Structure 1
Amino acid sequence: MREADLILRRCHAFRLADDVVAGGDLVAPVMRELKAAKELYTHSAHTGAVGRALLTGIAELAQLAGWVASDAEGLPGADPARLYRLGAAAAKEAGDRPLLGHLRGSLAYYETNRGNTALGAQIAHTLRGESGEEAPPRARSVASDRIAWCSVRLGDTQTALRAVEQSIEDLEEFEPGEDDNRRWLYWVSHAERTVMQARVYTEARRPLHAVPLLRTVLHSYPATHTRELALYRSWLAIALLDANEPEEAAGVARQMLELSATVPSARAAARGELLVRRLREHDDVPEVADVLADWA
């Protein structure tokens, strides 16, 4: 059991590193850790309990590997969809339904973000059932967020808004300490739920709802989380453009692009490209033209 516990501890250390280090810097070491865990499970003798613990470690590492691989580019064998499916299979064999739901939710999110919106939504709508009734509140909240995001990207705004409200209700049921054995939920908070709510509003072109939410979160968001600050500022800038406030959007966009340039993050780079395209629609505004002159 000591080896399995070490795998889980090392996986969580990588998760915490992902808060401040972009996927381009993390994907190779996380993939090595996953490979070592798989080899240990395959080539060692262990009891049923130890085997389940090792499978849990493999599932958690596969989820993290898929996540950082989607934020990086070009590492052979680091295909996020394949990694999420590997992790889901391991979680299912370990009998951990909430973790299975987390892996499947990660896959739904990934497929949606790469343009497979119908597939992403189809997977997302199975999550609460797959996670099981024993899923703790924060796991249910994450599942609801995945449903919300995949739905709004598919164009189903009403389902997305209902899922956002469900996520908030799920999180309100959380009691500190009740899911300490599931360290993959450490990041789930009211601030992150607010961000998802704002992202859904932005995607649905409801900027008057999105802008105040994003401003509130960004006011106190940790400065060390560079990638997330860049991503969240991209949502704020686009919401401001939708609200017909291009001058203010230009200032936020400049901050976002400057932050994005400092981290090897494919997600931040993609958001920056989208933001520049949206800014070009307002290139007659002097403040926007200045940003485009520096970053387009």
Structure 2
Amino acid sequence: MGSAMGPNIRRERQRLRWSQSRLAREISRAAGIAGDPVGRQGISRWETGKRTPREWLPFLAAALGVPVETLSGPPAPAEPHVPTLADFLPPEDPLERLGGRTGGRVGGGQVDDLRRRVHGLRLADDFLAGGDLIRPALRDLRRAVRMYREHSFSELTGRRLLACIAELAQISGWIASDAGRYEEAEHIYRLGLSAAAQAGDRTLAGNLAGSLAYQLSNTGRESDGLDLARAALDGAGPHALPKARALYGDRLAWSATKAGGTGNAQAAMRALGEAGEALAQDSEGTESPGYLYWVDAGELRVMEARVYTELRRPLRAVPLLRGVLDAYDATHTREMALYLSWLAVAYADANEPEEAAVTADRMFTLAADLASERTAERGRLVLARLAEFREVPEVRAVLRSHAA
């Protein structure tokens, strides 16, 4: 019976767009029991057929709003699996609470302090590279996870702490990725995705999923990146905040572009259009989470230009990139260098090697002292593209100066 019941439980949970942790909490409420005796791992074991709900079955059915027979009957005919965010959660719960609670009690003030630390890291990331920020970011993340696992707190404080851990994981994962520590960044992103799911914050979960999708798409795992970017957009639902939908569309456009193929190129352009439409619905009266502060029309133009560059459509990309760079804050050195790298490639694609060389030289000058693997990788790509024009004197000079 367990093997038939598992797929039914999973199907009904996904129908409600609930995480496994959310279902565990709803079962406890249906049973009138305080705490979380089932837990996410318990739900996972039921869904994989390793265990059966037994005495929990009536409460499970009540929580899902279906008759017991819907769960205990034969599974519905299998349909092609569409990846959801739940597929990308860690196999075990990295935030499992420890018994004993020897660390004291956490109050709202401590969570507020942690939230300020998260915001400070975000602001610092605008000016500093991943190699400069990785140590304080990981130190804060470890401290926050220990706080959650070892301390006691109210239910409300626990949810706020989970949300803080998720936000801290997003910026820490981004910093680790910029430092070239991709495996560690993926682990951090998945931890944050688990925290956001347990906090019931779909917007934050989508932000983490989009960040991880971006890394996967840039590090040779284009198919996984595209699946995750789509799951982030689908998981947000049609009523997500305008800025959040714009961000998810932005990430999906890039993942589709990197995946290649005519169909994905068309999907990328559709995603860009939908992201622009979503952002146009944002107004001053719409309150968005602080971590979406950077999502604006300028950032969407940058992504549009990058997509056009990747698709080898320089006549579209060059004007967009030049417009963005003319208006961009020059103190954001890493982003300036990255955008210049795209412009250099677009000039090369337009058969303008002299302009490409001038732009590349400016990019390398800005990136010289940055501890960022993103800019280093872009630099290698720019040099490879310029090498096709090595007979042009301006290009040859850039290659000699920056080949190392």
Deviation at 1:164, TM superposition (A): 0.7
Of residues 220, 228, 234, the one that matches 1:129 is 234
Query: Residue 337 of structure 2 corresponds to which residue in structure 1?
Result: 230
Establish whether residue 42 from structure 1 lines up as the match of residue 144 from structure 2: no
Please give the per-residue CA displacement for 1:133-178, whole angstroms capped at 9, x wherever unaligned: 4421111111001110000111121100111111111111111252
Q: Any idea what SS the aligned residue of 1:125 has?
A: helix
Mapped partners of 1:191, 1:150: distance in 2: 19
Superposed, 1:8-87 pairs within 5 Å as: 8-73=115-180, 79-87=184-192
1:94 to 185, 194, 199: 199
Structure 2: stretches of 5+ with no match in the other structure: 1-107
TM-score (norm 2): 0.71
Q: Does residue 145 of structure 1 match 2:245? A: no
Question: Relative to structure 2, which stretch is displaced further, 227-236 or 161-170?
Answer: 161-170
Counterpart in 2 of 1:292? 399
The count of corresponding residues between Structure 1 and Structure 2 is 293
Q: Distance in 2 between matches of 1:122 and 1:45?
A: 37
Q: Supply the AA of the counterpart residue of 1:40.
A: M
Task: Provide the TM-score with structure 1 as the length reference.
Answer: 0.96
**1:22-49 CA distance string (max 9 Å, x none):** 0000011011001111111112211111
Corresponding position of 1:157: 265
Which of 248, 268, 281 is the aligned partner of 2:388?
281
Q: Are residues 1:215 and 2:319 paired?
A: no
Cα distance in 2 between the residues matched to 1:25 and 1:295: 23
Contact 1:98 1:135 in 2 (8 A): yes
Partner of 2:303: 196
Q: Is residue 99–residue 131 contact of structure 1 (8 Å, CA) maintained in 2? A: no
| Structure 1: segments with no counterpart, 5+ residues | none
- Tell me which residue corresponds to 2:278: 170
RMSD: 1.2
Distance 1:167 1:204 in 2: 19
Whole-Å Cα distance in 1 between the matches of residues 181 and 209 of structure 2? 23
1:118 paired residue number: 223
Whether the 8 Å contact between 2:357 and 2:395 is mirrored in structure 1 is: yes
Q: Output the CA distance in 2 between the equivalents of 1:99 and 1:137.
A: 14
**Structure 1 74/92 Cα, relative in aligned 2: closer, same or farther at 3 Å?**
closer
C-alpha distance in structure 2 between counterparts of 1:131 and 1:177, whole Å: 20
| Conserved? CA contact 2:180–2:374, under 8 Å | no
| Rg larger in structure | 2
Q: Is the 8 A contact 1:98 1:134 kept in 2?
A: no
SS at match of 1:187: coil
Determine whether 1:252 maps to 2:359.
yes
Instruction: Indicate if the aligned counterparts of 2:131 and 2:179 stay in contact, CA closer than 8 A.
Output: yes
State the alpha-carbon separation in 2 of the partners of residues 247 and 179 from structure 1.
46
